[in-house]
Structure 1
Amino acid sequence: MSASRTAVPARPHMTSLMYSLPVRRLKEILSHVIPGVQLGPVEELSSPQLPRLYKLHMSDDRNLLLSFAPSLAVRLLRQEATLLSSEATLVYFITDSERKNETETASQNKIWSPEPTILSQVVPKLIKHSADLREMAYPYSIFELGTGEPLSTLSIHLSISERRGVDKQIGAMARALATLTSPSGTFGTVSLVIPYLNNTGSATAPRIQRGGSSTWSEAVNTLVEGILRDGEDISVLLPYETIRAHYQRSSWRLDAVTLPRLAVLDIGSETNIMVSGDTEDTSSPRLTGLRSWSLGVFGDPLIADAFDNPSDGFLEGWNSTCSSSIIEDEENAAIRLLLYRCYRAVVSIVTEHYRPQVNSSRRELEERRKLTSVLAELERVDAVVGDALKMSG
């Protein structure tokens, strides 16, 4: 949790909510979204995620999740500026894509009814999203509350076979996401590629005309430049020019990716993966979704963190739905993975400076070791390419 925010208490303090959340305004909003249903107790949920999360107990025994934008005291990276709108847009896009696929399948074969896909089981239902600051002073989203707990709290209790089963489900989810492609054919983050949502949760024309990048190298450069500038803004010590030079020299390898497929950057994060945590359930642990869907990108699926030293279970799930590969230019995929690993290390280092925590120094040191290692590997790659060019010349 960010050091600039007060730690969330183990038990909900209803009195504090009066100052942190406009409950009266929330009741009014819910009365329009869900007519006839009253808002009951509101419980603040502890989470390492940036948005403030609240469990809403409704009078019809339903539980909703209110995701409230971070307070202005929390310093955000450039890629985090549109967290809630990006998440709402991606959830809407996936849900709409699933609905269109079901309609198309039904029209082709009216007798057979397809089973729910993994995406329909793990993507939350968006009830409302609003970026109108006049409503509750901050952007917010309301979802139906899913089940499960973060994998980070359950992993220690899982057997080897159970963990492999969870990893397999994560791999299948990543593969299902990768079957979805950019609606505009452009590359980049969801917030750039897909139009904004309006306040009811449906797609509308963007307020600012943006359409992503025409190439994958341009989209990756946008991500990399964003985090490097974040670091430069607060004078984080990094080899900026060396990193920029590697991406410039390797742009042609990135441009081998020509079809922008959907990936979620932190799909492999244990704090983001939600798993059924009912200890009385005798069945295998079940993947129930992600806590946050905000870091969606259209491009190379390999940019997702789960492909950094993927487990056997993840690869089994990734390859289980189809025998053919959807990874382009597999010959140079390993080098692209190095570039993505470099990007993640820089993000981690800069984030520790933006929002320092108790163990930030230890985590930063580990990420700096990773960065040093990956930069050394990229240097070797460049040296091999240089030698090959000299021999051919």
Structure 2
Amino acid sequence: MHLSRLDAAPAFSYMNDTTQAIMSPVQRSNAESGELNKFNSVLRLLFPCTVHIQKISSLEGHVHSLRLLTLSNGVQLMLKCSPSPTTALLRRERYLLETEARALALLAQSANPCVPQLFHYDPHGTLLGPSFLVRQYVTGSTLQEMEDLLTVDDRKDIDRHLGFLVNVIGQHVAPTFGPLEEVASGCGKKSWREAFIELFESVLRDAEDMFIHLPYAEIRREVSRLAPALEDVTLPRLVVVDLGQPSQVILDPGSKQVSGVVDFSTAVWGDVLMAEIFEDPSPAVLDGFGSRLAKDKSEITRLLL
């Protein structure tokens, strides 16, 4: 399931129109003041007391609650809170926030300017109620938005940069395979085959729960038949599955260069070929990645899976 992009969504009023319509001016003012006080308590953890919030914008279209905080020192932060308890979530969506926080914390070691800085992660919701993270807000336009404005050379530069970024991210390794939170808790799998089948099975179960009609038995048989190719992956490398998705790549509108990638919530310890950018990689992607695809039977099967 592809979630809508975090940073390119338009800024809306602090509270949505439906909420405002059923609240009196006094109720609305009290609610806004209460949330502002909570946001300021988070801000005090990160900046001197002279820094304050100048503007708060709500960003719609995402399973999480998102707020863009513009500070008096010019810094823009993304505040991302866990979904409401009443929100129906897919199995992997229950861990998106924790996964993103862990991935950003790991990637901070690389100091790559395309990876947003993680400022704070609160898994227990001690300040705001729900669990939340605060990270750098990435400005610019999405690759999806700028696609028609790019020359062939522009696109080659972007693809080369994304291939390089996949390689940089993949330099981070772990002792076992699987979701970041499972590996961190010591429950990772010894083989990529075992971890992949578990991830795949969770997707099928989500579909079954929603009564989506698919040939489940046949799908499971085919995955089992092809799964031995996954044994060729022996080193658990960090991979962001959605990396390469045009809605997740941010470009500088002036230079048309990659200025950032957003949403690291799909990261897993596994096979780098899981990254979306390898679905149909251009020669520039492979140049940036630093390796050609072998295109042997095992690799082709892994890409198919």
TM-score (norm 1): 0.67
SS in 2 for 1:127: strand
Letter in structure 2 aligned against 1:317: G
Partner residue in 2 for 1:248: 224
SS in 1 for 2:213: coil
Question: Please, which of 33, 54, 57 is the counterpart of residue 67 of structure 2?
Answer: 54
- Alpha-carbon distance in structure 1 between the residues aligned to 2:9 and 2:92: 28
Deviation at 1:275, TM superposition (A): 1.5
Deviation at 1:267, TM superposition (A): 0.3
Matched, 1:153 2:145: yes
Deviation at 1:135, TM superposition (A): 2.4
Deviation at 1:331, TM superposition (A): 4.4
Deviations 1:311-334 (A, max 9, x none): 232122112xxx6x7x79954100
SS in 1 for 2:112: helix
Among all aligned residue pairs of Structure 1 and Structure 2, give the percentage whose two residues are the same amino acid: 28
Matched, 1:38 2:52: yes
Letter in structure 2 aligned against 1:190: L
SS in 1 for 2:135: strand
Partner residue in 1 for 2:23: none
Partner residue in 2 for 1:291: 262
| Range with greater deviation from structure 2 (145-154 or 122-131) | 145-154
Matched, 1:80 2:93: yes
Please identify which structure carries the higher strand content.
Answer: 2
1:88-237 superposed matches below 5 A: 88-96=101-109, 98=110, 120-182=112-174, 185-194=175-184, 209-237=185-213
Deviations 1:159-190 (A, max 9, x none): 222122111111110111122211xx101122
- Alpha-carbon distance in structure 2 between the residues aligned to 1:25 and 1:287: 34
Partner residue in 1 for 2:303: 337
Q: Unaligned 5+ residue runs, structure 1?
A: 3-7, 99-118, 195-208, 340-393
Q: Unaligned 5+ residue runs, structure 2?
A: 3-7, 21-27
Letter in structure 2 aligned against 1:155: E
Q: Which has the greater radius of gyration?
A: 1
Letter in structure 2 aligned against 1:336: R
Partner residue in 2 for 1:63: 76
Matched, 1:27 2:3: no
- Alpha-carbon distance in structure 2 between the residues aligned to 1:15 and 1:247: 45
- Does the 8 Å CA contact 2:40/2:52 hold for their aligned counterparts? yes
1:347-362 superposed matches below 5 A: none
- Alpha-carbon distance in structure 1 between the residues aligned to 2:136 and 2:303: 35
How many equivalent residue pairs?
Answer: 287
- Alpha-carbon distance in structure 1 between the residues aligned to 2:229 and 2:219: 16
Letter in structure 1 aligned against 2:183: V
When the two chains are superposed, the root-mean-square deviation of aligned CA atoms in Å is 2.7
- Alpha-carbon distance in structure 1 between the residues aligned to 2:139 and 2:247: 15
Letter in structure 2 aligned against 1:250: L
Q: Structure 1 pair 270/35, CA: closer, same or farther in 2 (3 Å)?
A: same
- Alpha-carbon distance in structure 2 between the residues aligned to 1:126 and 1:139: 15
Deviations 1:197-244 (A, max 9, x none): xxxxxxxxxxxx443100010000111110111111121111111111
Please identify which structure carries the higher helix content.
Answer: 1
